[in-house]
Chains A and B, each alone.
Chain A
Amino acid sequence: MAINSIDSSKRTRLVPQNFIDGEHSYTTISEILAGVVLNPKPPTVWFVATGLGFAVLNVMLLAVTYLVLTGTGVWGNNQPTAWAWDIINFVWWIGIGHAGTLISAILLLMRQSWRNSINRFAEAMTIFAVMCAGLYPLLQTGRPWLGCWLFPYANTLGMWPQTRSPLEWDVFAVSTYFTISLLFWFLGLIPDIATLRDRSQHPLVQGIYGLASMGWVGSAKHWFRYEQAYNILAGISAPLVLSVHTIVSFDFAVGIVPGWHTTIFPPYFVAGAVFAGFAMVLTFGLPLRSIYPQIKDFITPKHLDWMAKILLATGLIVFYGYILEMFYGWYSGNTYELALVYNRLFGPYKWFYYALIFCNGIFPQLCWVPQLRRNVPFLFVLSIIVGIGMWLERFVIIPMSLTRDFLTSSWGYYAPTEWDWALFIGTMGFFVFLLFMFIKVLPIINIFEMRDLLLKNHHQFGHGHDDHENAEEAH
């Protein structure tokens, strides 16, 4: 090895981690991870979850059909709350998706190799979450079949979309985000699809995976270009994900409504997105580990620990955002901003605000306790609470400001209808259904990157068990 002994001991201290538990070889990695997909009999839980997802997905279809046939009046939105659950849920879903890109792109660029075990299903989550998110603005237009008007194309009306509007920026940001996430995900899947092609027994299955693998052979020249392309996509995804949630926050920050018109919004939204997204990775990752116990060697307690740390860190940024919002309200000296702060604390929706502070500000502080960061039931509860908290955050931002703005005569009260609920719960079913279908069809853990990690472990810790122990001692 080229590195001298001092450097390598420093390296060991900085990167002391072996991210694969147990004794594994390239053979066992391929067997276990491809086995999850190619096993002809998935566990019973899989059928239950997929069935449940499918049932709830139908609630979504029902809600969409009723909405399209009747009009957006079936929702609780009305002046002064012209947008409510549709934008809340849009932002919530988009935010959930952001963890996937953060894990796959930003952690890749930072050479955080622990990301390799969780990036694949986090990326899948991104794509499905963006699908759920995209549904809302499209439906809120009331005439989703004219959704093409959002895009600049030469039309007989002789008009163009208004590209000075943050809502139009959203169209470009979300559609670009979806496209790039899909390309990135598919590119990452190709070598693993080739593994599935080579391991499957049934000719039809072989044929399908064979087509999808694009004839991948794993040539060194191909890998070279593949890695170039993969890193470039990661490099552009990193600023992209920041831009998407920044633009989403501009939907509010560009407006002059009290509580929206602040410069803290872009960073605070991005941190909130990562916070919610990591929570969702845990919400799904933890059950996956118990449904498929064989993957516990790849998603180790160390991974859970580190994810909890990221939750804690991003949670603190979000909490800082809440404190600053209060500060801005006071420091602005603006009557309306001050009134909004008062209404947050003592207005009609005050319990939402207190619940938000508890879910996102106080409860995650338990992550300071190292034992809890590796406690699976605790992490699961935490992830659900953070998911709820991030939903509440958007609720606090949107109807609360809209129902208490400048003129007392235009104050109001917002409450959702059953169709708001049906669509929201329905999108969750859609998400669950797609995720479980994905688990059955494609590998949930990046197989080739696990092999790569194993090779790195061999180089770092040596082949024998003794070397490994030495490395641990050095640490």
Chain B
Amino acid sequence: MAHVADESPKLFGIVAEFDDPDALVAAATKARVAGYKKFDAYSPMPIHGLAEAMHFEDIRIPWMAFFGGITGCCLGMGFQAWIALIDYPMNVGGKPLFTWPQFIPITFEATVLVTGLTTFVSQFALNGLPKPYNPMFNAKNFDRASQDRFFLCIETRDPKFDEASVTEFLQGLGALDVSEVPA
């Protein structure tokens, strides 16, 4: 990862630490209203209303799951139909070859399997995980972001980023602590 660190600025962002989830939601709202674009909030549990406060929305996962399901369904039914009609047709007492009601259970299972795998993989892919190194791990006290503290980080790649003004802005939000995050 060293070559990435050389090219990017030394500072990743400025982080503010809170001890209350509601304060974090309020801070995220203010950061958005103040016109910051590249910022993120970190919390030890999902906070409802936080993504909305940041005006963040992403509906790709449900769509991917949907198309994954369609794919699984077609694969499941198609494969069984291909076996029954083309590759290995078996005449059972003159009954029709395409006995579709008996193909439903496996079609259903294939639909669920592919939907689940797609959802699982796309969650990681869209979140950029696994990511062993994250500059946020350098932030002061950040080990508590998975336990009992709430963080808001305004990143240097934000067009409005200015070290002094961002620090002042974050201090005005009632944070416990405001500190720099080295990249």
Taking Cβ atoms with an 8 Å cutoff, the residues of A that contact B are: 25-27, 30, 152, 158-160, 163-164, 166, 168-169, 172-173, 176, 179-180, 183-184, 187, 191, 194-195, 197-199, 210-211, 214-229, 232-233, 236-237, 239-240, 243, 247, 250, 448-449, 451-452, 455
Contact = CB atoms under 8 A, between A and B. Distances in A.
Contacts, number: 184
Contacts of B99: 164
B63 to A, nearest CB: 10
B145 A183 contact: no
Given A169-B106, A172-B105, A225-B126, A220 B41 contact: yes
Contact of A197 (B54, B84, B146, B148): B146
B109 A172 contact: yes
A227 B46 contact: yes
Given A163-B103, A232-B61, A233-B119, A221 B129 contact: no
B83 A218 contact: no
Interface residues of B, number: 61
B157 interface: no
A326 B103 CA distance: 32
Given A180-B113, A243-B105, A243-B109, A224 B148 contact: no
B165 interface: no
B130 to A, nearest CB: 4
A452 B117 contact: no
A96 B31 CA distance: 49
B176 to A, nearest CB: 14
A448 B44 contact: yes
Interface in B40-73: 40-47, 50-51, 54, 56-58, 61-62, 65, 69
A243 B76 CA distance: 15
B149 to A, nearest CB: 8
B106 A172 contact: yes
B102 A198 contact: no
B172 to A, nearest CB: 21
Contacts of A225: 58, 61, 123, 126-127
Given A221-B40, A223-B46, A232-B115, 16 more contacts: A30-B148, A180-B112, A198-B145, A214-B124, A214-B129, A215-B131, A215-B134, A218-B145, A218-B146, A219-B42, A220-B28, A220-B56, A225-B127, A228-B58, A233-B116, A236-B112
A449 B46 CA distance: 8
Contacts of A243: 105, 108-109, 112
Given A210-B132, A220-B51, A220-B56, A180 B116 contact: yes
B113 to A, nearest CB: 4
Nearest to B153: A219
Given A183-B117, A232-B65, A223 B43 contact: yes
B177 interface: no
A240 B44 contact: no
